[in-house]
Structure 1
Amino acid sequence: MNGVYLEIHRKNPQLRNLILILSIFSAIPFLVPRPVIIDSLLNGHYSNLDIEIAGALLGVWGFASCLRLAISPPRDEPIRFNRVRQKIYAYNFKSCWWNPFKHCPIEVVSYDWSDVRAESWRVRASTPQGASFVKWGVMLSIVEPGTNKVIDRFPLSSMGLDEAVWAYVCTYMQEGPTSLPLPNPPLDHNDVLWCDIAKRLAPKVEWPAEIDRESRTAP
């Protein structure tokens, strides 16, 4: 944070290393020839072959989905709030959960601060075993100028200091850094621990050069 812009990081999928390990172990049964399929092919018993093939395809889809969830999101998804230009710049990644083979590019977007709205959300869900859990966060909605029609929406925070993050951002954009407590020391989004395998395999944060310069400078 300085007098021109404030940059915050956003948490992307948690437990990425655990998801990566699960995806590897889930693939092992499909890397070894299945005796049932081999027996069906050799002896002409095709009645259960379609079920076995369907199960194998489902396993491949599950493996690819978990692997994509673990290593496809970038190492971070920062947002920059430029107080001088009165604009925000978001480094967004939107995955297609049902199609792990679809290419999902990074979307770097820029909007006027006056068109940004915040939506606080909270969801209570239950598992088949009867346990319940609560998720919450803050979404940023972008509206067309002079209207309430939402044209884009992306998260500001999730399962964290939700409303407090929004209050900090608003105070910065309206009053400047002198009205705020000092933030944590700045972090390099691409600097990850050697043991964080999933993030080391994930794409690095690389802002487009023009947007990187614009978002960090005054007009």
Structure 2
Amino acid sequence: MNEPDRGLGWKYDLPSPNTEASIDSITTVPPRVLSDMNENYLELSRATLKLRGGWIVIGVVISIMFLTGPVSLFGHFPLKPNLAGLKELFLDIFFHAFFFLLLAPSIRMDLGFPKNEPIRFNRQRRKVYFYQFRFNLLNPFGKKNWGVKPVAYDWDDLTLEAYRIYAPMGYGGLKEEVKISICKPGTHEVIDRVFFTDDIEQGEHCWAIVRLFMQQGPEALRDVLPHSSNGDEIPTPNPAVKAVFRNPFDHLAPEVQWPAEMDLESRTAPTPGKQSNDNNFCRPN
């Protein structure tokens, strides 16, 4: 195999991590892109789940229907339900249970996805740390493949992939996405692929920002990036405009809690005389 496998809808790869970046390539600044930045690392926020709470509401409605449906059916046959009534009752239970099982993965994601999934780019260690939420739609009640599982990879192993898919559903049928893939060192075997942005243009600008930071440091970005220390505010290029989360489910989302060892390593420079990749954090199964 000469090239890494690409997913359905792949269009092209963005510039490699060490391709020279310039401030001129950053023509727009995506809102809420920067969480934190200092001499050692830059942190970007991701929002994999765009509309939190929608599936919870749908699930509650279906649950109410499931609970009230049989009662209403028995109301028609209070003493001796006939065969037709029992058949209708069975179909009602089966229908609602079936749809509840279909919605279970989405409901669990609504409840489990953290407030954001930050990525930390450490220029001193030349490593990237992902606060990654994993899920398995085929096993909505399992534990192994669900939950936050932070991972770390070498900067040089990253590949940014642009995807564009046309489908007969919503948003005019067009879905864009930029993903980060990581290959096993020395091979073309993709060992992980994670979400970066849901818009190709935004992904290109974010990637230019990251490359500029990793190549030249934070001083190269001071004049172009809006910043807010308040997680409930959305920084915008216009400081007079401030927006806050209006979805009440966003405030119920789990807070970001990095593992202590990874949190320290991802925010600091390596000890002089010590290799920057001494710690080898677990990669996803």
Same fold at TM > 0.5: yes
Deviations 1:143-198 (A, max 9, x none): 12222221111011113611111111112112222223442214455889685332
1:94 aligns with 2:94: no
**What residue in structure 1 maps to residue 266 of structure 2?**
215
Aligned mate of 2:227, from 182, 185, 197: 185
Where structure 2 has 5 or more consecutive residues not aligned to the other structure, the ranges are 1-36, 235-243, 271-285
**What residue in structure 2 maps to residue 120 of structure 1?**
162
The CA distance in 1 between the partners of 2:90 and 2:257, in whole Å, is 45
Aligned mate of 1:162, from 203, 211, 215: 203
Deviation of 1:218 after TM superposition, in Å, equals: 0.3
How much identity, in percent, do the aligned residues show? 35
Bigger RCO (CA 8 Å, 6+ sep): 2
TM-score by length of structure 2 reads 0.67
Q: Secondary structure at the match of 2:150?
A: strand
Q: Secondary structure at the match of 2:107?
A: helix
Preserved contact between residue 166 and residue 175 of structure 2 (Cα < 8 Å)? yes
**What residue in structure 2 maps to residue 24 of structure 1?**
60
Where structure 1 has 5 or more consecutive residues not aligned to the other structure, the ranges are none
Preserved contact between residue 30 and residue 60 of structure 1 (Cα < 8 Å)? no
Q: 1:37 to 1:87 in 2, by over 3 A?
A: farther
1:10 aligns with 2:46: yes
Deviations 1:61-86 (A, max 9, x none): 24534432322211110000000000
Aligned residue pairs total: 217
Deviations 1:89-112 (A, max 9, x none): 000112223443233121100011
Aligned mate of 2:257, from 187, 193, 206: 206
Q: 1:96 to 1:76 in 2, by over 3 A?
A: same
1:54 aligns with 2:112: no
